[in-house]
Chain A
Amino acid sequence: DTEVTQTPKHLVMGMTNKKSLKCEQHMGHRAMYWYKQKAKKPPELMFVYSYEKLSINESVPSRFSPECPNSSLLNLHLHALQPEDSALYLCASSQAATPNTGELFFGEGSRLTVL
């Protein structure tokens, strides 16, 4: 199984809502990532979990709250988002983070629209 599965595929939320994005992998990878991708732009790193501990937070606003319940699962909790947060949120995994074989495995993403 070489898949990273993300749910939901699409999410529409208001600025006062609380929602969560979920990501799952069963490849035994020990590093998991959240990326944000705007249209026609490259993915931007948000968070890295290495061995279930948050290792990188790229100065992401606190309205985004990551959680790694176990080595296979990664959540991104969303609260009080702004319309400019509308984007494709990509989850990725890798065997490790540093050092690594170098390959990131991406999910298909959750497309978020904030009204």
Chain B
Amino acid sequence: QQQVKQSPQSLIVQKGGISIINCAYENTAFDYFPWYQQFPGKGPALLIAIRPDVSEKKEGRFTISFNKSAKQFSLHIMDSQPGDSATYFCAASRGRNTDKLIFGTGTRLQVFP
């Protein structure tokens, strides 16, 4: 129940395309869903996050879509760029408690010119 399942494991997209990464959770007590981006040789960094009281949140080219009834959420990267090539981790927690943040398994995104 504490797991967050993430797919796909890897994703290859052409420049200008849409990248979509999906996550699913079981624990209905989770109420905070961040996405972290990790470049090679760097630590993860918060990209965007959503609470379950909204179905979508957009920041620039990055959008989180949230489906509370299906217990699923996804990250969409519009107009994907080579600079977006990184590993993306979805995560979930209850009450934004970072000491109990559960990470998904990660998606390695490669964007080719």
Task: Report if A42-B106 is in contact (Cβ < 8 Å); known contacts: A97-B97, A101-B96, A103-B98.
Answer: yes
B75-113: CB near A (< 8 Å → 1, else 0) gives 000000000000101000101111111011110100000
A18-52: CB near B (< 8 Å → 1, else 0) gives 00000000000001010000001111010010100
B61 is an interface residue with CB less than 8 A from chain A = no
Binds B, one of A59-67, A76-84, A106-114: A106-114
Q: How many Å lie between the Cα of A92 and that of B108 in the bound state?
A: 22
Enumerate chain B residues within 8 angstroms of A16, measured Cβ to Cβ: none
Closest residue of chain B to A43, judged by CB?
B103
Q: How many Å lie between the Cα of A42 and that of B103 in the bound state?
A: 6
CB within 8 Å of A: which of B40-88? 41-46, 49, 87
Tell which of B32, B46, B101 has the most Cβ of chain A within 10 Å: B101
Task: Report if A55-B99 is in contact (Cβ < 8 Å); known contacts: A43-B44, A106-B43, A108-B42.
Answer: yes
Measured CB to CB, the closest approach of chain A to B112, in angstroms, equals 20
The 6 A-B pairs at the shortest CB distance, nearest first, are namely A106-B43, A102-B96, A42-B103, A97-B99, A98-B97, A48-B99
